[in-house]
Amino acid sequence: MSNAQAGGDNTIKLVLAWGLVGIPLAWGVVETVINALKLFQ
């Protein structure tokens, strides 16, 4: 496998892996911030 191919594979894997953990976490954080805003209303 060429270096370019290996680099491309890694990019796809990295996007998938970080998306897998990042998307649910971001969703949870947004939900929390929306609830927290009630403190200052």
Looking up tokens 């996007």, which residue turns up? 15
Does 29 help bind another protein (rule: CB under 8 A)? yes
Q: Give 1's contacts (C-beta < 8 A, 6+ positions apart).
A: 9
Looking up tokens 């009630």, which residue turns up? 38
Does 8 help bind another protein (rule: CB under 8 A)? no
Instruction: Report the C-alpha dihedral over residues 35, 37, 38, 41, rounded to 10 degrees.
Output: -170
- Contact positions with another protein (CB under 8 A) in 9-28: 10, 13-14, 17-18, 20-21, 24-25, 27-28
Judged by the rule CB under 8 A, the positions of this chain that interact with another protein are 1, 3, 6, 10, 13-14, 17-18, 20-21, 24-25, 27-29, 31-33, 35-39, 41
